[in-house]
Every structure is written in structure tokens, then in C-alpha cells.
Amino acid sequence: MIIDGQADFRTLLMHHVTTHWPDAIITAYDPIEAGHLPEEFSGAGNDLVLLGSEQGDRDGVDVLRQFLKRTSFPPVVYFGSEEDQETAHKLRPSEHFIREHISHDSLVVGLSDVLLASQRMASTDTLFLGDLRTGIHPLIKGYRFMRRLGSTEYSGVYLAERESTHLRVVLKVLRQMPGEDENDGAFDRFLQEYETIAEMDHPNIVRIYDLGVSDTHAHIAMEYLAGGDLRTKIERGIPVRAAVQYLRQIAGALAAVHEKGVLHRDLKPGNIMLRKDGSIALIDFGLAKTAKLESEITDKGEIFGTPYYMSPEQGHGNGVDERSDIYSLGVIFFEMLTGKKPFKADTAMGIIYKHAQAPVPLLPPRLAQYQALINMMLAKSADNRLQSAAEIDEWL
């Protein structure tokens, strides 16, 4: 159902939808000519409600709020102006577009994502789902989508199967929204991530299979790591011997990354995955930068990464090098051994302060043999730390 007071806009949306889903059954409603829909309107019988901001003497955001209050209402996709974008986004519609900046591909991907999400909540036999019932993504051919693993405002991560080989992969899909500076940066980081990992050939770095790019989206097909992430392992408790083995593997991967002149910059347990055989694989190089570019970024005072795992120099926006990643790995090793983070505070800035000023905490007596290594990895000054990831194995 399309609800908007501007006839040309209703026609435009109908064209986009029927071009991709020719069997779609569409109801167009003009709230200016036909009157506003009553409070008890339930949207029943529709797979999606496409709500435009042109609502006559009513504010489009108010109508959106009315629809979203109803628990059984179908997913609502809102098409607002740039002025009401922030307010509408806070209401959390299923999808949100600026009506003046709609491209066909981005709209089809957005509607498809909403339909895939709603399909998990309730089964349906409607023709409108079309090829989505088979798991085929409208713009990424050759893969059968199985389920969504996560999403952000601009991107989604899916478990999929390559149709030709039946290989399970993880697909990272990012929509490029022209004219939005924040997304432009995300798109650049997305492509950079592929280029960074594709150059690596190491058993403890995630494998990349495919890259696809269009004007409105990009996707990376990468190895599916069935063992979950290190964060979950830490929560359950890791035996000391396993923690040491994990440290060796992560350090080896870091050494390979650094040898290519790349810094990870966002090393944390959530970015370290395990395969079925228990081996480690580094993922998520979205914040990685080549060392020669690092000074250009930090000179502007920008801070990247996660405060719990930031080196003192990274937390204060100073120049970083390979030794910053070694510090992050030291935090992770401490957490693997003890189940606790070495530095905690009520605020991000409090954590950053402790990284720079608080003494390195002591391990329990039963783990004392690893204290010297922890001290060398968590030294406040980079000059006092281990100088390369390869040295970690030597100390072990």
C-alpha cells in the first residue's frame, strides 16, 4: 500500500516496485483527496506500507508515529524530507528514504531487506515476495540468502550459499546512498577492507572469495566462520592453554598484516572468529589503514576503535603504528586469561584515561608466568612495548 498526497510520487513508487516485482498488487491512497486514515486503520492485508511525507494538513511523521504504535501493523517504509529525516529515524520505521534522493537499486534492496526480515517473523504465501522466498537477493546474483546475521543503517551481513558450489559464505552488503557524506566514507572503507584482506594470505585471516560493486551497492563474499567469536568464548571461560594458543595465532596474523604495512586499529574479541576446527581468523578490517596514511588521520584528532582495547596513543588521537595493535592484543590476552578487562570505567573517556595513566593490573598468582609478557604488551609508552608481533611468540 502506498500512502502519499502527491500523485506523481505515488506513480514513481509504483513504477519502481512493479519493475522489479511485476506480480505485486498495489493499493494507492491519497490522504488529501480521500481523507486521513482513521486511528483504527490496521494495514491488514498488506506486506508493506510505503508512507510518504505529503499528508496534507497532517505532518507525515505524526502519521508514521500513528502507524508504528500499532503492534500488528505491517512494516512501514517512510519517505520523508531532509528536514524531518532525524525525527523520522528516531521512530525506527522498517526502512527510511529521503523522497528527493531515491534510486531504483537502493529502493529495491531496501524493500527486499524489509521483506526478508518480516518473512522471519511470519510466513506468507503472497506473490509480492516473488523471488525472495527462494532466498535470492534482487541485486546479488549467484547466492542463495539463508538469514541475516546483522545490520546497520546502510549495510547488512548475511549467511548465504553460493549456488554453483553450495559453499556457505558470509555476504557483507553495503548500500551506497549518493550525497550522504557519512555513507560515502563507509563505502570507501568497505572497498578498502576488501583490498586489504584480499592481499593477505595467512591461515589466521578470513578468506575473501568475491567482490561486487555497482553505483548503489557493493558486496564482499567471505569465509563463513562457524565457531563463533572470541567474545563468546571469553564469556564462557577459556582454559589457559587455549588462551596461549589463540594468542599465538592472532599474533601470527598480526605479523602478516603489519608486514604488508597495514594496521588493524580495531582489534577486539568481536573481530576475532573461530572456525569449526578451533583455529582463529581475524575479520573486520573496516578501520584498517596503511601505516603511511595513519599520520594524516590522527593529525586531525580523529579517534577510531573501541575504548576498552585502545592503546594510550590511539585513545588520545596521537600517531599510531604496529605497537598500538600489540597493545590491543595485550588487553585481549589479559581478558582471555582472567575473563576480565584490565581497565574499566563509567565512561569511554574514563577508560581512555586509565589506559594512559593506571598501572598495568596484576594477573592472579597461578598466571604469574605471563605477567612479564602482559607488562611488555601493555606498556604505556610504545617505546617500552614489544616492537613487533613476531616477538610475542618468542616471549611465550
Cα separation, 124 vs 246, whole angstroms: 45
Q: Are 56 and 29 in contact, with CB atoms under 8 Å apart?
A: no
Cα separation, 331 vs 146, whole angstroms: 35
Q: Helix 7-20 crosses helix 104-121 at what angle (to 10 degrees)?
A: 70
Local structure of residue 302 (DSSP, 8 states): -
Cα separation, 11 vs 28, whole angstroms: 9
Candidates 113, 266, 284, 325; catalytic one: 266
Question: Which string of DSSP letters, residue by residue, matches 170-239?
Answer: EEEEEE--TT-HHHHHHHHHHHHHHHHHHT---TTB--EEEEEE-SSEEEEEEE--TT-BHHHHHHH---
Nearest CA-CA partner of 110 in 27, 17, 234: 17
- With 0-12 / 13-18 / 19 or more C-beta atoms within 10 angstroms meaning exposed / middle / buried, residue 269 is buried
Q: For residue 193, count other CB atoms closer than 10 A to its CB.
A: 22
Cα separation, 146 vs 141, whole angstroms: 14
Q: Are 193 and 239 in contact, with CB atoms under 8 Å apart?
A: no
Local structure of residue 138 (DSSP, 8 states): S
Question: Is 277 one of the annotated active-site residues of the chain?
Answer: no
Q: Which residues of 363-383 are buried (b: 16+ CB within 10 A; e: fewer)?
A: beeeeeebeebbbbbbbbebe
How many CA within 13 A on the CB side of residue 167?
Answer: 15
Q: For residue 85, count other CB atoms closer than 10 A to its CB.
A: 16
Catalytic residues: 266
